[in-house]
Amino acid sequence: MVKKVTTDEPSIDELATFCKRKGLIYQTCEIYGGLAGFYDYGSLGTLLKRNFEDLWREYFLGLDDNFSEISASEIMHEKTFEASGHLKNFTDFVALCEKGHSDRADLLLGKKIGKRCEGMTKEELAQGIEEHGVKCSTCGLPIVSVDVLNMMFPLSLGMNSRAFLRPETAQSPYVNFLRQFDLARKKLPMGIALIGKAYRNEISPRNFVLRQRAFTQAELQIFFNSSKINTHDKIKDVQTYELNVVLSSQRSKGIQKIKCKDMLKSLPAFYVYYLAQVQKFYFDFLKLDKEKFRFYELNDKERAFYNKYHFDIEFDLGKLGWTELGGVHYRTNHDLQGHEKVSGQSMLVQDDSVGEKTLPHVLELSFGVDRHLYLMISEAYNKDKERDNIIMKFSAKISPYQVAIFPLIAEGKSYLLARDIFESLRKRFSVSFDVSGSIGRRYARQDENGTPYCITIDEDSVKNKAVTIRERDSTKQIRVKVGDLKEAVEELVEGKSFEKVGKVVNTRVK
């Protein structure tokens, strides 16, 4: 990801308008006025989403040979959520005004007083709202009550059966644990990854895709023997690695850069190792601005009761401030213990490495996919005054299209060569073929799409079997032989210097 160089930061409404115009993301059922909290991904957005998900898979499934991915039903048995505690505890506090408009009470109060209000009781929220004169965000009238809302979506199955849309993807790996453990040759630690939809009846969905009622999660549930939580085979590899953290007991100090070996004084090695791997995903893999990233530790009142350790993954989104993107949660054995009790099936498994049976504990690495896509779009969005155009500076691995093919003439031998090149490259890369408009207009269109490289095929290409590649950010051009093109694009996508891939051409088309 290329760091933004402009100070003209877009508002969330501006980004939403751009995403709609480009077919990235837009509200579902537009022809009927939309549906609050639900969004569709258009063709460009679907490619962007798929690319992020594939990168996530490549990185996190590569952390251990015993990590694998499943795909599971989004509709789950009612007893699943009795066991997990969601039926009883998955609630939010809703603030209601005189006209009946609703707001999430902790967020409404938090915005007013400038601090987090998670973990506050219904009574504490009501008292705070009254003391600070908090008003409805919709109409500005006083708040008259604070009520409780269960956030799950119930479903009727057939005539008399009830199920639920899953409110989190985590429960799918838990109910699949025993079967997957057998398939993994009964070895711990074992990771079950899942990328899929979750559904929550949010009180006041807002801020575009940052708070929705249907959203995509990418999660890795790592099952392990709790007796080994203070060890990890590779902990020595990260001893001197520095983490960007805000500790719950030292929040006044802000972000501190603390080495993993020092974090081990208060956190177990298994947990610290994966904190480091998560941060490396953002710094080394996604190439995001290191100064805008932090782990934010939640205290006893703020975190879920079943989490023993909980660090939110947060990124500074400018006008929106620090925004949660995911989290690293040590959920103990709460979930498997609950499913064991309600299902009547033992979740104890044999850990041959220590020769004993154990009820595995779980370390959860959780990522909101839609929030990450907002982050990618926000960081990539650049208004270029010289080109009088919006340039989406996606990295080549994230961009919806990595390459665009431009035949200079929409007929003849050069056009046929362009089609051959397109068919050849599309087997390996995400490629767009564009013959509409002037070459300058086509460049501008692909700049807005975020396409990092455009390949122009002209009449000379037929004669000397060479094409022109133009780089999005610098507008520089190089000439590359057709026979070397696939290798050249591969090198560019992997990050090789543009000017080292081919012969530089002086002419630049902006």
Task: Identify the bridge partners of residue 46 per DSSP, sorted by sequence position.
Answer: none
Q: Is the peptide bond before 189 cis (omega within 30 degrees of 0)?
A: yes
Give the per-residue pLDDT at 281: 98
Give the per-residue pLDDT at 3: 42
Mean pLDDT of the 271-276 span: 98
Q: Which residues contact 40 (CB under 8 A, 6 or more apart)?
A: 25, 26, 27, 28
Q: Does 246 score more than 50 pLDDT? A: yes
Question: Long-range pairs for 23-28 at CB < 8 Å and ≥24 separation?
Answer: 24/48, 24/377, 25/208, 25/209, 25/373
Spatial distance between the Cα atoms of 462 and 466, rounded to a whole number of angstroms? 8
Q: Which residues contact 69 (CB under 8 A, 6 or more apart)?
A: 57, 61, 192, 193, 194, 195
Looking at the chain, the whole-number percentage of residues with pLDDT higher than 90 is 82
Spatial distance between the Cα atoms of 141 and 162, rounded to a whole number of angstroms? 38
Give kind and range of the element (H or E) at residue 152: none
Give kind and range of the element (H or E) at residue 318: none
Q: Does 2 score more than 70 pLDDT? A: no
Q: What phi and psi values does residue 489 have, to the nearest 5 degrees?
A: -65, -40
Give the per-residue pLDDT at 200: 94
Q: Does 508 score more than 80 pLDDT? A: no
pLDDT per residue over 145-198, tens digit each?
A: 998 888 899 999 988 889 999 999 999 999 999 999 999 888 999 999 999 999
Mean pLDDT of the 241-259 span: 97
Q: Does 13 score more than 70 pLDDT? A: yes
In this structure, which amino acid lies at residue 172?
S
Q: pLDDT band at 483, cuts 50/70/90? A: very high
Q: What phi and psi values does residue 366 have, to the nearest 5 degrees?
A: -120, 135
Q: pLDDT band at 510, cuts 50/70/90? A: low
Mean pLDDT of the 262-291 span: 97
Helix (H, G, I), strand (E, B) or coil at 68: strand
What is the three-state SS of 73-123?
CCEEEHHHHHHHCHHHHCEEEEEEECCCCEEEHHHHHHHHHCCCCCCCCHH
> Do residues 148 and 94 make contact, with C-beta atoms less than 8 angstroms apart?
yes
Q: Which residues contact 181 (CB under 8 A, 6 or more apart)?
A: 190, 223, 349
> Do residues 141 and 149 make contact, with C-beta atoms less than 8 angstroms apart?
no
Structure tokens at 354: 């220590």
Spatial distance between the Cα atoms of 485 and 480, rounded to a whole number of angstroms? 6
Question: Does residue 147 or residue 269 have the better pLDDT?
Answer: 269
DSSP string, 350-418: EETTTTEEE--EEEEEEEEHHHHHHHHHHHHEEEETTTTEEEE---TTTSS-SEEEEESSSSHHHHHHH
Q: What phi and psi values does residue 470 have, to the nearest 5 degrees?
A: -110, 130
> Do residues 117 and 109 make contact, with C-beta atoms less than 8 angstroms apart?
yes
In this structure, which amino acid lies at residue 468?
T
Give the per-residue pLDDT at 1: 43
> Do residues 295 and 312 make contact, with C-beta atoms less than 8 angstroms apart?
yes
Q: Is 31 exposed, middle or buried (0-12, 13-18, 19+ CB in 10 A)?
A: exposed
In this structure, which amino acid lies at residue 43?
S
Q: Is 410 exposed, middle or buried (0-12, 13-18, 19+ CB in 10 A)?
A: exposed
Structure tokens at 330: 């040590």
Residue among 26, 44, 13, 9 nearest 450 (CA): 44
pLDDT per residue over 328-383, tens digit each?
A: 999 999 999 999 999 999 999 999 888 999 999 999 999 999 999 999 999 999 99
Structure tokens at 509: 């088309």
The CA-atom distances, in angstroms, between 110 and each of 125, 128, 139 are 10, 10, 18
> pTM score, two decimals?
0.90
pLDDT per residue over 448-472, tens digit each?
A: 999 999 999 999 999 999 999 999 9
> Do residues 271 and 245 make contact, with C-beta atoms less than 8 angstroms apart?
no
Helix (H, G, I), strand (E, B) or coil at 203: coil
DSSP state at residue 474: T
Structure tokens at 366: 């959780």
Helix (H, G, I), strand (E, B) or coil at 51: helix
Q: Does 5 score more than 70 pLDDT? A: no
Give the per-residue pLDDT at 181: 96
Both ends of the chain: CA-CA distance in Å? 21
Q: Does 244 score more than 50 pLDDT? A: yes
Total length of the chain: 510
Which domains does the chain show, CATH number per domain? 50-84+161-379 (3.30.930.10), 91-150 (3.30.40.230), 392-505 (3.40.50.800)
The CA-atom distances, in angstroms, between 22 and each of 395, 449, 462 are 18, 7, 34
